[in-house]
Chains A and B, each alone.
Chain A
Amino acid sequence: MKFYAYAGRILRVDLDRMKTFTQPLPGEMALKFIGGAGFIAKTLWDETGPDTEPFSPENRFILAVGPFTGTSWPQSGRFQVGARSPLTGVFGDSSCCGFLGPELKLAGYDMIVISGRASNPVYIYIDDDNVEIRDAKGLWGLKTSEAEKALKEEVGDWSCQAAVIGPAAENLVRYSGIFHDTRVAARAGIGAVLGSKKVKGIVVRGSKDVRVAYPDKFQELVDKLSEEYLRDPHIMRRRKYGTPILAELMNEIARWPVKNFQRGMFPNVERIGGERLRSEYRIKDRGCYACLCLCEKPVLIRKGQFKGVYKNPEYETISSLGPRCYVGDLEAIIYMNYLCNEYGMDTISTGGTIAWAMECYEKGIITREDTGDLELYWGDYDTMIKLIEMIAYRKGFGDLLAEGSRRASRKIGRGSEKYVMAVKGMEIPAQDGRAQKSMGLAHVTATRGADHLKAFPILDESIWENKIIVRYGREYLPELGERLNPKYKPFLVKDCEELAALCDSLLLCKSTGTLLPLESGAVYYPEIAMGYSLAVGIQVSAEDIRLAGERIYNLERAYNQRLGLSRKDDRLPERFTKVPSPEGPAKGQVVELDQMLDEYYKLRGWDPKTGMVTREKLEQLGLKDVADELERLGKLPG
């Protein structure tokens, strides 16, 4: 069987032996696990486990692309990275757009797997079939933008693409990311895994073709979708504002993580929202490979302390470095975002960890004795700017915060655990589950720890009736669209998780690739199945493709189950389940977590009591080997 759209090769980099080699991509792997996150889950399952310490040479750093990468499919220019996460200790992956994913496909690889640990800093150089592990001594210590520039200069080709880590990852900050162009695979601390392997970056230059099986029909489908996208008012709004406009919207529904989730609304939202960012700071609009949406809006601060040209902060960053720490100064947020990017850290976890420390300081749990005489007051961005650098270089109090809020609270003790707004050790992003019940559930069921993107169940944010009808029919209305009503939310989260797993595997953007356009209802399993069939040349149905998403998600869950996770780890902080939301449309709400979880496990076909994946479910998904392994280790329910 010939597989089009895939490059058909896996690149292995063994840093213990300082050798590289390629393997053919097994056809069965392509069909069962699609690409990206699916390949990562499969590889991590096969090659790492309970004995693999995240920072050990045995852990794998994986970078994978999917069948849509490098084609003209809208919003497909992405890559996925993964490893056993040093932040959560469980399955970890993260997605990034830009241009590197397509370049890797053009160089002829579907996946890079890096194992071992180099004795000196290195970078990986890939020019089609020529792969080298090169010395990176002169690059170690450079900030991300400097490192990327230096790498391109060293290679002498500006059209190559690079992904790098910053000083934070070198210093094993547990929430450091992989940086490429101006985009980031930020979450779960995958950058620190690369840092532990002493790899500063990966440079790729590709000149091969990406071929699809039925070029004309595939391109026709892409053209049709592109037209639909560009007619959609929500896409047009994204093109105009990018994600920051969500600040205004999320504040309106009291879904904001203000003061470490103590409140849901921020008084001066218009000072830090998308409207102001566009009208006062934006220079121009930029997009990633094959992308019709223009999320990137470089900004200019004309004068003052933070004068300069920067990348715009995205919605999550505005929330996390802004209201979460009670900062209401847009220029300070832009600058702190720049610092996090330069040092190479996830802004959500950085803001989340600092907000935890601020609340502990407010409550008297953390004192100046702990912080080395720093005072942590809400909204004090000058201190935050100091802290960000201290975290990146693990200096003083920053050394503690570099561990992430859960680990830090375990070291501090004294009841500080109560203020950790994280699930499975990952800081909860900018959605208060009390104001949107589907998000509350999605945060605990996400396989990489608290996360909005493992499910991205946005259909109840406002009532997106069209999309709900196209996807699920009228029978779930109106409850499915009501964000405070837990009814049907487990159903929504389950379905969205499977779609999201597919997006991470194909790879597609979840936000502008499948959620938007909202008016037409595209893109969903039927379009994806059609695209996959035309691109790869193997006929699959919408149900086949959905099943692949379910398979990938179950494998990620099984990976965590093998590490000992179960229902006991699917917990939200008590703030979300016991303390009613204080204000706005969400006032008085809590997350009805157990009620939703019961139904969710049932829909998933998992053990309702323990939340564990069952043999029956795994076999139904063609994962008998996974069930056997779990049984051998006594990790199956019952």
Chain B
Amino acid sequence: MKKFIYADPLQCSGCRICEIVCSFEKEKVYNPRKSRIRVVRTRELIDLPIACIHCYSPPCARVCPVNAIEEDEVVKVIAERCIGCGLCVEACIIGAIDIHPDGYAYICDLCGVCVEKCPNQALKIVTPSQVSQRKQLEYLTRMLRGESP
């Protein structure tokens, strides 16, 4: 079963600690622009981290002209093959892939350091079925309480 990082927009405070620890874990520097997870934070109270959801038929892999993106348990960029064209960036539906300042595509590899360091427990590594199970439970709870779904 594929896994991905689930982010709870209500738990997330927008502090960007996930970005900070990600860039540190991967490159030993502090630089959110090198992070594999990115927090979208707007004045309209949106705080939501976005990372690769490792989809089953990743559009990024399909458009890559040099076959630098492979899919296995996770979607993976082979940096040595990557030419930094950015077609994958355009193809990704949720904006989870970006071109590194050093010129190659880079995405979340599910190492989990952000999950561990998030002070607000806003991140989890889950399977799609775990998400659906939780939603089923929430839905039923609301129904039984007589709240509108």
Contacts and interface: CB of A to CB of B under 8 A. Distances in A.
Interface in B95-146: 101, 117, 119-120
Contact of A290 (B16, B28, B45, B101): B16
A291 B16 CA distance: 8
Contacts, number: 73
Contacts of A289: 15-16
A208 B10 CA distance: 30
B49 interface: no
A210 B101 contact: no
B10 A292 contact: no
A453 interface: no
- Most-contacted residue by chain B among A148, A211, A283 (CB, 10 A): A211
Contact of B28 (A102, A215, A287, A292): A215
B24 A219 contact: yes
B20 A290 contact: yes
B2 interface: no
Contacts of B33: 106, 206-207
A284 B11 CA distance: 8
Interface residues of A, number: 37
Contact of B30 (A72, A285, A309): A72
B31 A209 contact: yes
B54 interface: no
A417 to B, nearest CB: 42
A286 B47 contact: yes
Given A72-B24, A284-B45, A230 B119 contact: yes
B14 A287 contact: yes
Nearest to B24: A219
Given A284-B10, A286-B47, A210 B21 contact: no
Contacts of A291: 13, 15
Nearest to B34: A209
Interface string B46-59: 01000000000000
Query: Which one of A72, A106, A206, A208 has the greatest number of beta carbons of chain B within 10 Å?
Result: A72
B113 to A, nearest CB: 11
B42 interface: yes
B15 A210 contact: no
Interface string A283-311: 11111111110100010000000000100
Given A145-B43, A289-B15, A292-B15, A72 B28 contact: no
Contacts of B94: none
A209 B15 contact: no
A289 B34 CA distance: 16
B31 A208 contact: yes
A286 B13 CA distance: 4
B13 A285 contact: yes
Contacts of A219: 24
B29 interface: yes
B91 interface: no
Contacts of B87: none
B74 interface: no
A215 B31 CA distance: 13
Interface in A241-290: 283-290
A210 B31 contact: yes
A290 B47 CA distance: 14
A158 B42 contact: yes
A226 interface: yes
B15 A215 contact: no
A287 B45 contact: no
Interface string A178-210: 000110000000000000000000000011111
Interface string A77-119: 0000000000000000000000100100010000000000000
Given A72-B20, A215-B24, A226-B119, A288 B30 contact: no
Given A70-B30, A208-B31, A298-B45, 8 more contacts: A72-B20, A99-B16, A145-B43, A148-B43, A210-B31, A215-B29, A219-B24, A290-B16
